[in-house]
Amino acid sequence: MKKQNLVFTPLHVWHVSHLDAMSLFLTTCEVAMPVRGCIGATADAILTELAADTAACFAQVHRQRKSPLTKEAKVLRKQCTDLFSEIKRTISFCAKSSRESLCAAGKELLFFFEPNWNINKKPFLTQVQDMILMLDKYNANPDLLALGKKIGIDALMIQLEADNARLSSIYFKRNEEVGSRPASGTHLRPAANESYMQFCTAIEQAARYTPNDELLWLFHNMDQLRKDQHEHLARKEKKKKSK
């Protein structure tokens, strides 16, 4: 891979809200920890600092901004995950069926769902929004709807769409609620921001000049998190301008 291609998606970290920044930093730490032995001594030291700075800032933000809607959102997210798991089990079972028509339907649905097969492992907001896009594509395709009915996932898909819509509503309602409260954790945010930016710089340089499979995997996962946050910021700005 060419060096010039390994550049992180631009992201103005200071424009990201406290809650979204904490989610970005925490998720970055989560994806980096399993491969930290392969990222080099400098990046590893910065990762330790990032984890500590993020934990301190998150603890204060969480204490001051805890919302009663959080528990409801967690319960509903699990409900959506369980529903999608049932849908996947049905599709996988049918794809292995000895009945030719059922097997063909299962395989075609498997092909459609494959890009989002592990959607539940994505960050909260990404899961909700990617699920909406997937369901929109599914509902817009009469052939897929017919296949879903054939293998018996039509009712499950309808329920999944309804539950995911509720989850999306609760997520943004919660963010709006906590966003209207006074800012918290502001004196701890600069340290977390600085550690995150330093870590991104270290990983970008390591991936370009001393690459290995684990580093490249981490780079692309971190870049996807940045892309998701960049798109989220763009949507918020567009919504603000439309008011």
- For the stretch 164-205, pLDDT in tens is 999 888 877 776 665 555 545 567 889 999 999 999 999 999
pLDDT at 121: 82
pLDDT at 231 over 80: yes
Task: Judge contact between 214 and 38, C-beta under 8 A.
Answer: yes
Task: State both tokens at 209.
Answer: 């000049």
- Do 73 and 173 reside in the same domain of the chain? yes
Per-residue confidence band for 233, with pLDDT thresholds at 50, 70 and 90: confident
Query: How does residue 62 score in pLDDT terms, banded at 50, 70 and 90?
Result: low
Shared domain check, 103 and 36:
no
Which amino acid is residue 49, in one-letter code? E
Residue 70 clears pLDDT 80, i.e. is over it: no
CB-count exposure of residue 127 (10 Å: 0-12, 13-18, 19+): buried
Please indicate whether residue 84 or residue 73 has the higher confidence score (pLDDT).
84
- Please tell me the predicted confidence (pLDDT) of residue 68: 63
Residue where a domain terminates, one of 177, 204, 226: 177
> In this predicted structure, what is the pLDDT of residue 126?
83
Number of structural domains the chain divides into: 2
pTM for the model stands at 0.51
Residue 60 sits in the same domain as residue 75: no
What integer pLDDT is reported at residue 57 of this predicted model? 84
Domain-embedded: residue 184: no
Residues 149 and 52 grouped into a single domain: no
pLDDT(227) > 50? yes
Check whether 142 has a pLDDT greater than 90: yes
The pLDDT, as a whole number, for residue 1 is 42
Same domain, 195 and 235: yes
Say whether both 22 and 119 belong to one domain: no
Residues 117 and 31 in one domain: no
Q: Per the domain annotation, does 2 fall within a domain?
A: no
Structure tokens belonging to residue 48: 């330790």
Residue 20 lies in a domain: yes
For residue 170, the enclosing domain spans 69-177
User: Which residue in this structure is represented by tokens 């609620």?
Assistant: 177
Structure token digits, residue 230: 């960049």
Q: What average pLDDT score do residues 22-49 get? A: 94
Q: Which of 233, 68, 69, 87 is nearest to 166 (CA)?
A: 69
* Residue 24 contacts residue 225 (beta carbons within 8 Å): yes
Contact 163, 83 (CB under 8 A): yes
In a domain, 8, yes or no: no
